[in-house]
Structure 1
Amino acid sequence: MSPLDAFWHLANLFAPAWGLAALLALAIKALWRREAKSLAWRRLWGWGAAGGSVAVIATVLLLGRDGRMAGYALLLLGVALPQWWLLSFRR
């Protein structure tokens, strides 16, 4: 595998986590304007992306591969929990 292939392989592994984190951050900023006013979009996205990345790595380690339904559930929790924490407790 060439370095470029390895880059695209890793980028595609983490793309669902980063994309879901971006969509959820946008939804939070749109739906909870008052509550999320003090939170920057990049902060919401960054914490969600970090949690989703950890969830993807945990899925590969625990289940042996990605793409299983349990892995997607863990991904959803990994993205949503940090953003919920920021919205609820970190103002």
Structure 2
Amino acid sequence: MSPLQFLDHLLNFVAPAVVVAALLALGLRVLQRARSLRVPLWKQVALTTGAGAATLLGGLMLTDHDGRMATYAALVVVAGTVQWALLRGGR
């Protein structure tokens, strides 16, 4: 596998985490503007993407397959939990 092919596979693997993180952060900017402005947008997207990528990697390691629906469901739960924690949902 060439380095370019590896980069393509890596970006396609992480793409769902990036999209979910970006849509969630932008959606919260629209729906909960006052609370969402406490944390910079780039930080929300970066931390949620990192947690989402770790979730996707964990799903790949547990199931030996990429793209299982259970992994994507876990991605959504983890992304929501990270955003909730970032915006101090418990306080």
Please report the TM-score for the alignment, with normalisation by the length of structure 1. Answer: 0.92
Question: What letter is aligned with 2:23?
Answer: L
Q: How does 1:1-91 map to 2 (within 5 A)?
A: 1-88=1-88
Partners of 1:17 and 1:74 lie apart in 2 by: 11
Answer yes or no: is the 8 Å Cα contact 1:21–1:79 preserved in 2. Answer: yes
CA offsets, 1:21-62, max 9 Å, x none? 001000011110111121111111111101101101100011
Count of matched residue positions in the alignment of Structure 1 and Structure 2: 91
Q: 1:5 Cα deviation (Å)?
A: 0.2
Q: Over aligned residue pairs, what C-alpha RMSD do you find?
A: 1.6
Question: What letter is aligned with 2:47?
Answer: W
Partners of 2:22 and 2:43 lie apart in 1 by: 10
Question: What letter is aligned with 1:8?
Answer: D
Aligned-pair identity in percent equals 36
Partners of 2:89 and 2:76 lie apart in 1 by: 20
Secondary structure of residue in 2 paired with 1:82: helix
Secondary structure of residue in 2 paired with 1:75: helix
Unaligned runs of 5+ in 2: none
